[in-house]
Copies of this chain bind each other. A is one copy, B any other.
Amino acid sequence: MTSDALPGPFSDRLGYLLKHAHLRYTEVSTRALAPLGTDGRELAVLAVLASDTPLSQQEAAGRLGVDRTTMVALVDALEAKSLAERLRSPTDRRKNIVRLTEQGRQLLDRAERTRLRTERDFLAALPAPDARILLSALRVLATGD
């Protein structure tokens, strides 16, 4: 989907605005992370897995807001790149504990810095107070409080 539509009569439709703001950010973010060999989606998984307490696939999926079946492929991808590894939980052998490798942790660090810079740049089109209000408003709308 193109994200650079004409302004048109659509700039007051909430669905349109949320969708296209997201599309635009995804483009920017993808471009910024590409040199690191990752993308926003994968980075979010890494960030979740970096939790101090080790997470099972399902717990990680819950925090990411994705399905557990989707999580399978995400962890597959990380494992294929040696960014994470599955360990069988000693206390419940049904569960996979997913742990970042040293490589994964390093990538996370570098990529997170890139992400923060990218977000800042993206929001730089807004007055600073508006950017703050935007973020807090999105938090409310996205999480239902």
A115 to B40, CA, bound (A): 31
**A17, A66, A119, A125, most chain B CB atoms within 10 A:** A17
> Which residues does chain B contribute within 8 Å of A10, judged by CB atoms?
44, 47-48, 63-65
Any B CB within 8 A of the CB of A96: no
Query: Are B24 and A44 in contact (CB-based, < 8 A)?
Result: no
Interface of A is mostly: helix
**A19, A24, A123, A145, most chain B CB atoms within 10 A:** A19
CB under 8 Å from chain B, chain A span 117-145: 119, 122-123, 125-126, 130-131, 133-145
> Which residues does chain B contribute within 8 Å of A19, judged by CB atoms?
22, 142
Any B CB within 8 A of the CB of A56: no
Copies of this chain present in the complex amount to: 2
- Pick from B4, B40, B67, B126: contact of A144, CB under 8 Å: B4
> Which residues does chain B contribute within 8 Å of A2, judged by CB atoms?
65-67
20 A-B interface contacts by CB (under 8 A): A1-B65, A1-B66, A3-B65, A5-B62, A6-B62, A6-B63, A7-B143, A9-B63, A10-B65, A14-B122, A14-B135, A15-B26, A16-B65, A17-B142, A18-B21, A18-B138, A19-B142, A21-B138, A21-B141, A125-B140
